[in-house]
Chains A and B, each alone.
Chain A
Amino acid sequence: MILDFRFSHSSPVKKVLYILFQIILIGYVIVIIYPILNLLLSSFKTTREIFTNPFSFPAEWRFSNYVKVWQKGGFDMYFVNSIVITAIAMALVLLFGSMAANGIARYNYKMKMVVYLLFLSGIVLPLKAAIIPLFLLIKNLHLTDNRLSLILIFAAMGLPSTVFILSGFMKTIPKELEYAARIDGCNDLVIFQKIVIPLSMPSITLVTIYNIVPIWNDFFFPLIFISTDSKKTLPLGVASFFGQYQIAWDLIFAALSIAIVPMIIVYLFMSRYFIKGMTAGAVKG
Chain B
Amino acid sequence: MNNKGQTLWILFFIVPGLSLVSIVIIYPLFASLLNSFYAWDGFTRMEFVGLQNFKTVFTQYPYNERFFNAIGNNLKWFISSMVIQNTFGLLFGYLLSRRIKGHEIYKRVFFMPVLLSIIAVGFLWKLYYNPQFGLFMKLFTALGWDFMNRAWLGDSSTATYAIILMNIWRWTGFPTLVFLAAMDNVPEECLESAHMDGTPEWTMFWKITFPLIIPAIMVITVLTLIGSINVFEQVYTMADLDGAPNYATDTLGTLFYRSAFGSQASTVPEISIGSSLSVIIYVLCLGLSVLNILGFQKKEVQL
Contact = CB atoms under 8 A, between A and B. Distances in A.
Contact of A130 (B18, B32, B201): B32
B40 to A, nearest CB: 9
A133 B31 CA distance: 6
B64 interface: no
B95 to A, nearest CB: 6
30 contacts: A3-B191, A4-B99, A6-B101, A29-B110, A31-B169, A32-B109, A99-B14, A99-B17, A103-B13, A118-B21, A121-B26, A125-B286, A127-B25, A128-B230, A129-B230, A129-B256, A130-B25, A130-B28, A130-B278, A133-B31, A133-B32, A152-B24, A159-B17, A160-B21, A217-B115, A252-B127, A278-B115, A283-B181, A283-B216, A284-B215
A159 B20 CA distance: 9
Nearest to A82: B117
Given A124-B289, A249-B127, A275-B111, A219 B9 contact: no
B178 A283 contact: yes
Interface stretch (B53-61, B153-161, B219-227, B243-251): B219-227
Interface string B102-123: 1001111111111111111101
B237 interface: yes
A31 B136 CA distance: 12
Contacts of A24: 91
Given A3-B191, A217-B119, A235-B120, 13 more contacts: A1-B99, A99-B17, A103-B12, A118-B26, A122-B21, A125-B29, A131-B28, A136-B43, A217-B118, A219-B117, A219-B233, A219-B236, A279-B178
Interface stretch (A57-65, A66-74, A197-205, A263-271): A263-271
Contacts of B13: 99-100, 102-103, 188, 192
A263 B116 contact: yes
A282 to B, nearest CB: 5
B128 A274 contact: no
**Residue picked from A103, A115, A267, most chain B C-beta under 10 Å:** A103
Nearest to A241: B123
B83 interface: no
Contacts of B181: 279, 283
Nearest to A96: B17
A153 interface: yes
A92 B21 CA distance: 12
Nearest to B277: A129
B contact patch SS = helix
Contacts of B1: 182
B223 A32 contact: no
Contacts of B277: 129
B123 A256 contact: yes
Interface string A92-136: 100111011011100101000001001101101111111111111
B20 A238 contact: no
A contact patch SS = helix
B121 A260 contact: yes
B17 A129 contact: no
Contacts of A79: none
Given A152-B24, A220-B232, A249-B127, A235 B289 contact: no
A2 interface: yes
A217 B142 CA distance: 35
Contact of B117 (A160, A242, A259, A267): A259
Given A124-B289, A213-B115, A25 B138 contact: no
A141 to B, nearest CB: 10
Contact of B119 (A3, A32, A39, A219): A219
Contact of A271 (B111, B169, B256, B285): B111
